[in-house]
Amino acid sequence: MLPANRTAKTSSDTALGDWYVNRIVVDRQPLLLLVSSASLLPMLLPARDVRGLPGRLASLVETRLRHCGIDPRVIEAETRAMTPVAIASTVDRSVLGIIVDFAKLVPYHLEPGHWNEDTLRLVEERLAETPCHAGRLSDRVVFPENKAPEILNAKWLANRPLEPTTGANVKIM
């Protein structure tokens, strides 16, 4: 589902970049962990209708950004830019490392047998507070909860019309 002038090897023109997806199991429940390549913003959801994920991605991102308090105009521009969605190979190993780290943290935030889908939002918030690339200089450490609004506003509000140009890629690990 790519425009004729694009291939799966091109990168996204959305502010949040490509979305990487990994299936994890917590307390015998399959979950999907999604991470934005540009902001490292995580999303966590039950692993249902995985084949329909590309069609639901924009809606899922919209909900996640609303929970982050992002300007509705920015959310609309970002989600419009996410169509069409393409599934492609992983290209950024540092994002894969972040996904592995997040996947290891998720069980620590979910008490076995005492969590549900509503609890997943709290885990997303905790993961978004996690410093990423902490081995770098302090000005290059990424806190997803801060980085996502920063890059979204820079792309969609900084002297530009709120008109997206192309679609995003979903990277499945």
CA 47 to chain centre: 15
Per-residue pLDDT at 1: 39
**d(Cα 41, Cα 129) in Å, to the nearest integer?**
9
Q: Is residue 25 part of a domain?
A: yes
Task: Give the pLDDT confidence of 30-50 residue by residue, as tens digits.
Answer: 999 999 999 999 999 999 999
Residue 4: inside a domain, yes or no? no
Q: What distance in Å separates the CA atoms of residue 170 and residue 90, rounded to the nearest whole number?
A: 9
DSSP annotation of 5 reads T
Give the per-residue pLDDT at 105.
96
Please tell me whether residue 36 adopts helix, strand or coil conformation. Answer: strand
Tally of domains in the chain: 1
pLDDT digits 0-9 by tens, 65-111: 999 999 999 999 999 999 889 898 888 999 999 999 999 999 999 98
Domain that holds residue 80: 19-172
Query: What pLDDT band is residue 6 in, cutting at 50, 70 and 90?
Result: very low
- Dist. CA 156–CA 149, nearest whole Å: 10
- State the pLDDT at residue 94: 93
For residue 10, being part of any structural domain is answered with: no
Calpha distance 122→120 (Å, rounded) = 5
Cα-Cα-Cα-Cα dihedral sign, residues 117, 50, 78, 149 = positive
